[in-house]
Amino acid sequence: MKKEAFSHGDLIEITTFEGIKKGTYMPSSEKFLTLKLESGYNIGISKKKIKSIKLISKYKKPKENLCNVSKKKNLKTITILHTGGTIASEVDYNTGAVTAKFTPEELICMFPELSNIANIESKLIRNMFSEDIRFAHYNILAKEIEKASKNSDGIIITHGTDTIGYTAAALSFILENLNIPVILVGAQRSSDRPSTDAAINLICASQFIAKSNFAEVAVCMHENMSDESCLILPGTRTRKCHSSRRDGFKAINSSPIAQVKTDGTINYINSSFSKTSNLNLKLKLIKENLKIGWIKSHPNMYSKELEVYKSFDGLLIEGTGLGHFPINSTDKETKEHSKMLNTIKALTKKIPVAMSTQAISGRINMNVYSTGRLLQEAGVIGNYSDMQPETAYIKLAWLLSNHKKEVKKLFTENLRGEISKRSLE
């Protein structure tokens, strides 16, 4: 390939022996040229295979400081706290790196519609993937929410989608007497891709804060494949059910709170939520050094898998069906299961061991089969709960941090909408 007559960010057309490819020229390696296709995906093309390159248009650096952040008196104030993830990230065509945009100016430049919905403040808390989030980050966020709540009508937390449901659950428990909305927003596709969901999710969350009197923690994500509406999902009931679809977020054992359209129309689906108030927000943090285990029931288990939790502070079992675990020795092949039952008995003497189910929806009922009854006799708690395992895990940590003596009692009591007495279907 001859000396490059184009620079990073230029739109180019490459002819190879295999065909023609059009896209943005990205920082490349010695042997491969990286091209960002219109779909947003990057491909590497072996430089040896390139016959010719045509420049279509030069990269235009976006003009800076042209976005209007002046405050409007009649609008509410929303503070956006950034934690990272795909949302609000953009490719820098000079370096090829995905960078987070976090000043109010940058946000309004990226999503100009926001300035007509609310006065935007923002703060970068972290720029991390949500799979790396730990209990300590929940506390950092909660303290920032407390600070920001003093001069905001609502908070948006931009967050990676992988563990957005866990953070929503953690904040739901930590923020006691919450008096304003705290809405977590993610994006499955980054904002430099044509199919990005970042803008719509952020706009819907802002519209919801601007036009409702909701005062709980919730998640706002795409409702369906169209770009017209989002769902406000309950903080203790949201799960990422699809690894990449923009509408992959569902309310488990519950219904969404509302549908929000980008034009600000709100259709309430379940209005039994806490409203904005003058309550005094109280932080009930999660102890950062707690060790909570989580074990998923599966065929061919060994008691050794359970034994590691002897040094932990609590254990969540993600059982099968109505809340089961392999503890029945019915033939020589299942001898190991008696050991499992004994290990569970030893564990429950030291730490709370709670049950949840790996079934996607539904409630556990450990009275139906003898397995469930034996587990209860062995000291496993959690019967009748319809909490999804993610929320059960967070709740166990939160109870051990704040209500150590009442874990057994409170685990199956509804505190933040995480448990319902009656099942939906």
Give the active site residue among 161, 238, 262, 343: 161
Is 48 one of the catalytic residues?
no
By CB under 6 A, which span of 126-134, 174-182, 213-221, 346-354 interacts with ligand ASP?
Answer: 126-134
* Element containing residue 239 per DSSP (H, E): strand 238-240
With respect to ligand ASP, which residue has the nearer C-beta, 79 or 161?
Answer: 161
Is 10 one of the catalytic residues?
no
Q: Residue count at the site for ligand ASP (CB under 6 A)?
A: 10
192 binds ligand ASP (CB under 6 A): no
DSSP string covering 299-334, please?
SS--HHHHHGGGGSSEEEEEEBTTTB-S----SGGG
Give the active site residue among 153, 162, 192, 227: 162
With respect to ligand ASP, which residue has the nearer C-beta, 240 or 416?
Answer: 240
Nearest distance, CB of residue 163 and ligand ASP, angstroms: 6
Joined together, the tokens standing for residue 139 give 């506390």
86 binds ligand ASP (CB under 6 A): yes
Which residue number places its CB atom closest to ligand ASP? 160
Burial 53-62 (b: 16+ CB within 10 A, else e): beeeeeeeee
161 binds ligand ASP (CB under 6 A): yes
186 binds ligand ASP (CB under 6 A): yes
By CB under 6 A, which span of 129-137, 215-223, 226-234, 284-292 interacts with ligand ASP?
Answer: 129-137
For the chain, how are helix, strand and coil distributed in percent, rounded to 5? 25, 25, 50
Is 343 one of the catalytic residues?
no
The 8-class DSSP code of residue 150 comes to T
Nearest distance, CB of residue 164 and ligand ASP, angstroms: 7
85 binds ligand ASP (CB under 6 A): yes
Query: In 3D, which of 376, 420, 415 has the Cα closest to residue 399?
Result: 415
Nearest distance, CB of residue 116 and ligand ASP, angstroms: 27
Burial 401-415 (b: 16+ CB within 10 A, else e): bbeeeebeeebbeeb
With respect to ligand ASP, which residue has the nearer C-beta, 10 or 390?
Answer: 390
Is 263 one of the catalytic residues?
no
Nearest distance, CB of residue 47 and ligand ASP, angstroms: 31
What's the gap between Cα 115 and its chain centre? 25
Query: Beta 282-283 vs 266-268: how paired, if at all?
Result: unpaired
Q: Give 135's contacts (C-beta < 8 A, 6+ positions apart).
A: 170, 286, 287, 288, 290, 397
With respect to ligand ASP, which residue has the nearer C-beta, 245 or 296?
Answer: 245
Tell me the three-class secondary structure of 160-181, residue by residue.
CCCCHHHHHHHHHHHEECCCCC
CA distance 85 to 192: 14
Just list the catalytic residues: 86, 161-162, 240
- Residues lying near ligand ASP in the complex (CB under 6 A): 85-86, 129-131, 160-162, 186, 188
